Structures are given as C-alpha cells and as structure tokens.
Chain A
Amino acid sequence: MRTTARRSAALPLLVIGGCSVEQSALHPTGAGAEQIYSLFWVMTIGGGLIFAAVLLCTLWAIYGGSGIRRTLSAEGMIYGAGVFFPAAVLSALLGYGLYLMQESAFASSPTGAPQIAVSGEMWWWRVQYRDAQGRSLESANEVHVPVGETVNLALTTKDVIHSFWAPQLAGKLDMIPGRTNMLSVTATKPGISRGQCAEYCGGAHALMSFVVVAHPADEYAQWLDGEAAPAKAPDTEREKLGQDLFLRSGCGACHAVRGTAAAGTIGPDLTHVGSRKSLGAATLNNDEASFKRWIVDNQHIKPENGMPPYRIFTEAELDALAAYLDGLA
C-alpha cells in the first residue's frame, strides 16, 4: 500500500487514471444515453454513406469516360442529388429533431419522482437526496440512482458555470448561476460509470469528475437507508485517535460528519466517505493510502482545490486519521 502511494506520488499523471471506472457514451446504461447512442450511429452511418457516395462520384468523374461525366453533370443529377436529396434529408432530420426536443428538452420533469439536487462547486459536486418520506441527506461526488425509475436531477451551481455530464446515463446539461436546470434520468442497467464536468470552470476543472452508481431498485432503498444513518462510531483505538485528530484539527469547520461535532458545509460531507468509490471528485482511489496522500498533498494532487494541505501530522497520526475516514462506511 505505502509503496504504491509513494510511487504514484512521484508520477502525478497516474492520479488522473486513479479512478478507473468507465466513462463512454458508446456504452449507454440510461434512457437518454441510449437515444443519443442511436442518434450517433444513424448520423455516423448516414453521413458516412453520403460521404462515400460523393467520393465515388468524384472518382467516377475523374477516371470514368466522358459518358459518365455527362451523366453526372446532367441537370437531373444536379437537382436531384444536389438539391432535392439534401432538402429531403434535412427536412427528415428537422422533423426528428423537433420530435426529440419535445420529448426531452421541453418535456416537463415527472412530478413526484425522487429528486436529487446536484450543485457544482469549484471543483467538486455536492449531492443532496430527497426521498419519498421527505428525508433529505447530503453526500458528494457520487450520484446514486435506482434502475428503471426516473429521477429528477436539479442542477445548480454555487459559483461559476459547470456542466453535468454522465455520458452513460444521459446528455449533458449546464449548471448556470441563478438557475435550476432539471435533468430527468432513467438508468436502464445496474452498474458504475463515471461523469465529468463538461464546461471549463477554472484550475482543477479537469479533475472535477464524479461516479454514477445505478442500483437495482431494492438495493437502492437499502443504500439510501445506510446513507441517511449518522456516521459509524470508531471501532478501534486507532480510529478513535483519528476521530479526535479530525475534530481537533479544524476539519469540522469545512466538513460535516453527521453524528459528531463536525458540521462544516464548505467542503464535501464526509459522513460516509469511506464507502465512496473515489476521493477528490474521482481524482484518487478510495483507500487509506489515498486519504493520507490527500490530507498531506492535496494541492499537488489537485492544484488550487479549496482544501489546505496539512503537513502537521506525524506518520502515526496520519495513519489514524486515514483509518478513521476509511472506516466511515
């Protein structure tokens, strides 16, 4: 563990690949992404065929005889292939586009669907869940959704424009100051994928990613129950020491750990940070070694991020802090 940590600290590039969860619009696992995926192939294949036909005609005109050239330059050909064909294709695409826009862009979000509020904050994501029982709870850098159920994502920003893009789930939607943009998503397959801020938002923009977890419906309820519970009390002496350090070192001014005195709201809620898939908005893996690296070296790992680096801890104290945080499952 420790050697890996040291090795990757020497190779900052590895950091970017730290969270090796798939992020590809070509493997859709959500309703919106599936539509985009089919559209992508229709456009690519359609455009490819037309491009091939144009190339073929060009080659034909160059290498074919004068008879072929005469056919290609006939008035009927010019009007047919040059005017009517594009007009027909464009009209069909317009009709399809208008249909899609009515279906998605202008569709009102289903009322009564579970709502998740996601706020973009330089350079991480605050995620708040509100369930049917009116329970509201906060987490960060991960969006958990039930499979087969439409969920409304209320997208806002605390600072500048960000763009919420989970390519395997749906299309991207900007987060604009002063506005709440609603994105309705429906996961179609269980699994984990990755998302990314898709609007340049300053220094660490490239390291502003997140993880999408699609649970089977019954598991989702279970997960939400776990997430709603307060933080687990420390089990071991080491974790206990870690908690003391956490509370004594001012971490609680920015971070909340529900069930303890830490109630800060500037940084990500850490109540269940140990159960997350990543650290620093999908910048590092989530393990003890990464917690230690993050605490000491976060300004190198993720330059300009809102957390100061802490070099005051001894190795043993760091171990304890990391054990405590990793234990917050």
Chain B
Amino acid sequence: MSLFARHDSPVIGALFFLLWGPILWAGHLTIAYGGQALLCTLAASSADFDAATAIRLLIGVTTLASGLASVFGAVVPRLPFRLLLRRRPVDADDGTLIGIMRLLSALASLGILFAGVTTAVLPVCAQGR
C-alpha cells in the first residue's frame, strides 16, 4: 500500500483525509437523525417546548457546517491534506489520494444537502404514513 504507508506521514491521517467527506456526512446524519428523534421525544412530553424551531436550528446549523466543510474539502483539498498528513503532496500517489478524496467529498456534500433539505421541507415531528 504505497498510497498510505509512507514513513514520513501518519497512515491514520491519510485515512481520515481520504474519508473527509464521508466522515462529515456520517456525523451529519447522526446529529440530524438522533437530534430530531431526541427533540421530538422531548416535545411530545413537554407542551411548551418548541421542537420545530429547535430542530430546524440544529439541523440547519449542522447541515451548513458539515456541508461547507465537505465542499471545502472538494474544492481546496490541499489544506486538509497538510493538516492531516503534515506535509505537502508531492507525487502521483498523492494526486490519486487527492482525486479520490475530492470525489468522495463532492458526493458526501450532496448527501448532506439531501438530508438537510428534507428536514426543511417536511413537517418536523409529524408521523407520516
């Protein structure tokens, strides 16, 4: 695995770099679904808790934050690269790593957008069919 195993940079850093988008996406999903379920449960048990606003706020903020971070990774991969691998990209292997990372980040951005938009469009705590 010449792609990861280089004596001069941390393997785990390369993995996190590669999965920049998917990790953000997973975080977003966890917070969006978990937060929504939690806040709706809270709302069901207390009358004066405004779940709709709280949920829209929570999901709006996490969608914006994780979405921007993911897009940022796809557009300017060099920064996260240096942050996580603690060096500059040098050769074709690094180029491949960056290419895959950008692709995954772009797809993750779409996934984050999809999940975020759904909360904005549909009723928040309603039981659908």
Residues of A at the B interface (CB closer than 8 Å) are: 83, 87, 90-91, 94, 98, 101-102, 104-106, 171, 173, 179, 181, 183
Contacts and interface: CB of A to CB of B under 8 A. Distances in A.
25 contacts: A83-B103, A83-B106, A83-B107, A87-B107, A90-B110, A90-B114, A91-B110, A91-B114, A94-B114, A94-B117, A94-B118, A98-B118, A98-B121, A101-B122, A101-B128, A102-B122, A104-B129, A105-B129, A106-B122, A106-B123, A106-B126, A171-B129, A173-B129, A179-B127, A183-B129
Contacts of B106: 83
Interface residues of B, number: 14
A98 B110 contact: no
A179 to B, nearest CB: 8
Contacts of B129: 104-105, 171, 173, 181, 183
A102 B121 contact: yes
Nearest to A79: B103
A98 B107 contact: no
Indicate the member of A94, A102, A171, A173 with the most B CB atoms within 10 Å: A94
A87 B107 CA distance: 8
Contacts of A87: 107, 110
B92 to A, nearest CB: 15
Interface string B107-126: 10010001001100111001
A151 to B, nearest CB: 16
Nearest to A87: B110
Interface in B76-114: 103, 106-107, 110, 114
Given A94-B114, A98-B118, A104-B129, 18 more contacts: A83-B103, A83-B106, A83-B107, A87-B110, A90-B110, A91-B110, A94-B117, A94-B118, A98-B117, A98-B122, A102-B121, A106-B122, A106-B123, A106-B126, A106-B128, A171-B129, A173-B129, A179-B127
A106 B127 CA distance: 8
A106 B126 CA distance: 7
A179 B122 CA distance: 21
A91 B109 CA distance: 12
A90 B118 CA distance: 13
A87 B110 CA distance: 8
A104 B103 CA distance: 36
B31 to A, nearest CB: 20
Nearest to A98: B121
Contacts of A104: 129
Top 8 A-B residue pairs of the complex, sorted by shortest distance between their CB atoms: A105-B128, A105-B129, A98-B121, A106-B123, A173-B129, A106-B126, A87-B110, A106-B128
A102 B127 CA distance: 12
B121 to A, nearest CB: 5
A181 B127 CA distance: 9
B24 to A, nearest CB: 17
B126 to A, nearest CB: 6
Contacts of A98: 117-118, 121-122
Nearest to A99: B121
Interface string B20-49: 000000000000000000000000000000
